[in-house]
Amino acid sequence: MRFRKARATLGQIVLGMMEERRRTGSDPGDLLSLLMNPVDEETGEKMDDAQLRDEAMTIFLAGHETTANALAWTLYLLSQHQVVEQSVRTELAQVLAGHRVQTSDFARLPYLQMVLKEAMRLYPPVWILARRAAKDDVILGHRIDKGAYVFLPTYTLHRHPQFWPRPDTFEPERWATDGKGMHKYKCLPFSVGGRKCIGDHFAMLEATLVLATLLPQVQLALVPGQDIALEPTITLRPKHGTRMTVPAVDAETRELTLAVAAVHCKAVAAGVPSGCPFHAAAN
Ligand code: HEM
């Protein structure tokens, strides 16, 4: 009952937004516009309202909670790893030079992306994948009957000692080669194959931009004494949330960050190979 009510409320919000656009003729070029405007090549028709609402809701639900969890875990990990956090700040200071982050900065923030990938390795927002066998099969000697459900817990895969050195350690540097040379199925935050996430690039862009907006301004610190437990529902949430204090970045941290960024810039300008150890991928 609560689910139906919540679904109806969300549906009404989306329909309301579509009506508003049609009434005012506004087209901000966002995701909703991209869904509302295209015409089917074969039928020459646009999507009807029910289809549009369902598409928008799918993207909203598949994209919102997953990215929110990825961000929550990333901020938690950063609060526990000050060296990594400082390296992120240095990269941001160097790339943004005090400006607001732009979409075009994405490619220039490789370390921040490594941090996100490592956070999703340790805490995959979609922690388990499920498939139903289309026919009888045998996997590694195990019989799989047609119609049986097969589950792949990416949480376990991502921490399996056979595949990962120091599996439980947060080490963004392991992504310095952008995963090249890594088995392509050992880290699957966005799944793989025909049903893989359609929003993977969007999610990486969105999460990078959120962090690059937030971190230069605030210094998140975990409120001590919390029980950070896993809640593996459809997505992997922090069971009791992650309560943090959000003070503005203090002058000392800002100065330190600018000084380290300046040294790094000088090193790169002088042709020192990889002035920053984390930017091997970008150099
Ligand atoms: C960090 C963020 C995200 C993660 C970790 C994530 C993860 C995933 C995973 C693992 C699947 C596949 C499930 C399976 O194989 O059974 C999936 C599917 C999907 N995702 Fe994402 N996702 C994220 C963000 C997004 C965003 C931002 C969007 C939309 C803008 C999106 C839209 C979808 C859709 C529509 C599907 C279903 C695809 C299909 O069945 O054909 N996701 N996502």
Q: Which CATH number do you get for residue 151?
A: 1.10.630.10
- Per-residue confidence (pLDDT) for residue 264, from 0 to 100: 67
Instruction: Tell which one of 57, 66, 132, 157 to mutate to probe ligand 1, the residue whose CB is within 8 A of the most ligand atoms.
Output: 66
- Per-residue confidence (pLDDT) for residue 281, from 0 to 100: 41
**In this structure, what DSSP letter does residue 158 have?**
T
- 122 shares its domain with 255: yes
Check pocket membership of 152 for ligand 1, CB cut-off 6 A: no
- Per-residue confidence (pLDDT) for residue 149, from 0 to 100: 96
pLDDT by residue (tens digit) across 165-184?
A: 999 999 999 999 877 778 88
Centroid of ligand 1 to alpha carbon of 124 (angstroms) = 12
Report, as ranges of residue numbers, the positions in the chain whose pLDDT lies below 70: 264-283
Q: Is residue 53 part of a domain?
A: no
- 141 shares its domain with 11: no
Q: Could you tell me if 179 and 158 are in contact, meaning their C-beta atoms sit under 8 angstroms apart?
A: no
Q: Is residue 60 part of a domain?
A: no
Check pocket membership of 191 for ligand 1, CB cut-off 6 A: yes
- 163 shares its domain with 88: yes
- Per-residue confidence (pLDDT) for residue 70, from 0 to 100: 98
- Per-residue confidence (pLDDT) for residue 128, from 0 to 100: 97
Check pocket membership of 153 for ligand 1, CB cut-off 6 A: no
Check pocket membership of 66 for ligand 1, CB cut-off 6 A: yes
- Per-residue confidence (pLDDT) for residue 277, from 0 to 100: 45
Check pocket membership of 78 for ligand 1, CB cut-off 6 A: no
Give the number of domains in the chain: 2
Q: Could you please report the per-residue DSSP string of 238-263?
A: ETT---EE-PBPPHHHHHHHHHHHHH
pLDDT by residue (tens digit) across 12-37?
A: 988 899 899 889 988 888 888 888 88
Check pocket membership of 8 for ligand 1, CB cut-off 6 A: no
Domain that holds residue 174: 68-279
Q: Could you tell me if 77 and 135 are in contact, meaning their C-beta atoms sit under 8 angstroms apart?
A: no
- Per-residue confidence (pLDDT) for residue 265, from 0 to 100: 67
Q: CA 208 to CA 228: how far, in whole Å?
A: 23
- Per-residue confidence (pLDDT) for residue 224, from 0 to 100: 94
Q: By alpha-carbon position, which residue is closest to atom 1 of ligand 1? A: 67
Q: Is residue 56 part of a domain?
A: no
Q: CA 79 to CA 204: how far, in whole Å?
A: 20
Check pocket membership of 61 for ligand 1, CB cut-off 6 A: no
- Per-residue confidence (pLDDT) for residue 102, from 0 to 100: 96
